[in-house]
């Protein structure tokens, strides 16, 4: 069975964005970029909520026009070529090989996990990740803690979810960020 893997960047005070929604603080050095690529390579579908989808779709289709950062240059073609699923009750359609699912999160995610293929990679966001965790659908958590205090903004898994997890790994990236990897117990 495919796994649902949640990959998220957080500040040390537990926020995934700053007080004004800013996401300009994660530093994608070569080691962290490599881990991101490893997760993408083991996945054949990227999963998003509407808000993260809109952020991704506004940047990645033409990312090379906006940045020459090595991570951007490496990830942009992967993003464009990978199937994407957006869970949203308000989004009607999406481009870039993207399916929109507007109902029955638990049932549809269980169905996706049962299909043959590689893992499903849920990136960023909090609402969809919290709902998936609440339903026991997340198999692995890859939490990258960055050395920044944001002092507000959305929190990781805000809104409440309870799960017993088992630490399966830790790793330091680029002498700055720390990865905590957990699996459901």
- Rounded Cα distance, 163 and 148, in Å: 26
CB-based contact 155:40 (threshold 8 Å) = no
- Using alpha carbons only, what angle is made at residue 123 by residues 120 and 121, rounded to the nearest 5 degrees? 10
**Six token digits for residue 33:** 């970029």
Number of residues in the chain: 185
CB-side neighbour CA atoms (13 Å) of 128: 30
CB-side neighbour CA atoms (13 Å) of 82: 28
**Which has the closest alpha carbon to 49: 81, 91, 96?**
91
% residues pLDDT > 70 (the chain)? 100
Residuewise pLDDT in 10s, the chain (185 residues): 999 999 999 999 999 999 999 999 999 999 999 999 999 999 999 999 999 999 999 999 999 999 999 999 999 999 999 999 999 999 988 999 999 999 999 999 999 999 999 999 999 889 999 999 999 999 999 999 999 999 999 999 987 888 899 999 999 999 999 999 999 98
Predicted local confidence at residue 124, as pLDDT? 85
Predicted local confidence at residue 163, as pLDDT? 87
**Six token digits for residue 28:** 């994608």
Tens digits of per-residue pLDDT, 51-80? 999 999 999 999 999 999 999 999 999 999
Q: What is the largest CA-CA distance in the chain?
A: 43
**Which has the closest alpha carbon to 84: 125, 107, 56?**
56
The long-range contacts involving 28-31, CB below 8 angstroms and separated by at least 24 positions, are 28/69, 28/71, 29/173, 29/174, 29/176, 29/177, 30/70, 30/174, 31/173, 31/174
CB-based contact 123:55 (threshold 8 Å) = no
């Amino acid at each position: 069975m495919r796994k649902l893997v949640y990959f998220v960047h957080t500040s040390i005070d537990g926020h995934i964005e700053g007080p004004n929604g800013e996401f300009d603080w994660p530093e994608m050095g070569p080691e962290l970029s490599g881990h991101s690529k490893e997760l993408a390579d083991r996945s054949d579908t990227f999963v998003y909520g509407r808000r993260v989808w809109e952020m991704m779709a506004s940047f990645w289709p033409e990312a090379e026009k906006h940045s020459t950062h090595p991570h951007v240059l490496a990830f942009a073609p992967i993003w464009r070529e990978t199937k994407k699923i957006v869970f949203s009750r308000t989004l009607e359609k999406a481009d870039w090989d993207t399916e929109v699912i507007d109902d029955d999160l638990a049932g549809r995610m269980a169905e996706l996990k049962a299909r043959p293929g590689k893992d499903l990679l849920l990136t960023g966001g909090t609402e969809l990740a919290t709902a998936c965790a609440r339903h026991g659908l997340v198999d692995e958590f890859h939490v990258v803690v960055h050395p920044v205090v944001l002092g507000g903004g959305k929190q990781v898994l805000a809104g409440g979810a309870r799960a017993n997890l088992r630490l399966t790994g830790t790793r330091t990236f680029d002498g700055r960020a720390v990865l905590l990897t957990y699996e459901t117990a």
